[in-house]
Chains A and B, each alone.
Chain A
Amino acid sequence: ILNVEQSPQSLHVQEGDSTNFTCSFPSSNFYALHWYRWETAKSPEALFVMTLNGDEKKKGRISATLNTKEGYSYLYIKGSQPEDSATYLCAQPRAGNMLTFGGGTRLMVKP
């Protein structure tokens, strides 16, 4: 993998469903992996910055895991709520300082 890639591109779930998305990234020269939440008409907000292989982070109903050896991170949302509807972005610093983003996963939670 040469770039940061996210899947799926979009996801529709019902309120109460748990869901997860994937971020794939180049595993060589790993520095960190970022997750952001981006609501429509707002600016992206940081969820997690992960730096260690096997790292797990949690913020309320949202959690993330990291596998730097195989180059992927999962973001999990437990019991999705309509307010979780947003685009979720992951990003990786390249050459130390160039933080490059994946295309995002757009989550829509139906009440």
Chain B
Amino acid sequence: NAGVTQTPKFQVLKTGQSMTLQCAQDMNHEYMSWYRQDPGMGLRLIHYSVGAGITDQGEVPNGYNVSRSTTEDFPLRLLSAAPSQTSVYFCASSYSRGGTSPLHFGNGTRLTVT
């Protein structure tokens, strides 16, 4: 079982570059989300989606775009990377919306912006 797959595992960007972090799940989960993890800040929600074609902002959405064209995929786009976006990014999915199903996390992407 693949579960939630994130790519790449590591990435180094220069300020101003753009990139897409990929996230795919094979569990037919309705809900998908992106978090960033910074020292002393815990996990903070960037964007989430409750189904194909539906996305919404989380706690820290600035500088990030998302789309959900299929149930399986939920890519996170950085349009113009900034050093403040250096972080570890986690994609997570759950069976249903509403927060009553547990999240399944991917293995994370460590991003460094220089």
Give A contacts to B, CB under 8 Å: 31-32, 34, 36, 42-46, 49, 51, 89, 91-93, 96-104
A99 lies within 8 A of B105 (CB): no
Distance between Cα atoms of A103 and B44 in the complex (Å): 10
Q: Closest CB-CB distance, B83 to chain A, in whole Å?
A: 23
Interface bracket on B: 20 to 34
B18-72 at interface with A (beta carbon < 8 Å): 31, 33, 35, 40-45, 48, 50, 56, 58-59
> Is B100 located at the chain interface by the 8 A CB criterion?
yes
Give B contacts to A, CB under 8 Å: 31, 33, 35, 40-45, 48, 50, 56, 58-59, 90, 97-108
A49 lies within 8 A of B102 (CB): yes
Q: Which residues of B contact A44 (CB under 8 A)?
A: 43, 90, 103, 105
B56 lies within 8 A of A97 (CB): yes
Distance between Cα atoms of A98 and B98 in the complex (Å): 8
Q: Which residues of B contact A96 (CB under 8 A)?
A: 97-99
Given contacts A100-B45, A101-B42, contact A45 B98 (CB under 8 A): no
Q: Which residues of A contact B100 (CB under 8 A)?
A: 31-32, 49, 51, 93
Q: Which residues of B contact A34 (CB under 8 A)?
A: 99, 102-103
B105 lies within 8 A of A43 (CB): yes
Chain A residue nearest to B3 (CB atoms) is A43
Q: Closest CB-CB distance, A17 to chain B, in whole Å?
A: 25
B59 lies within 8 A of A98 (CB): yes
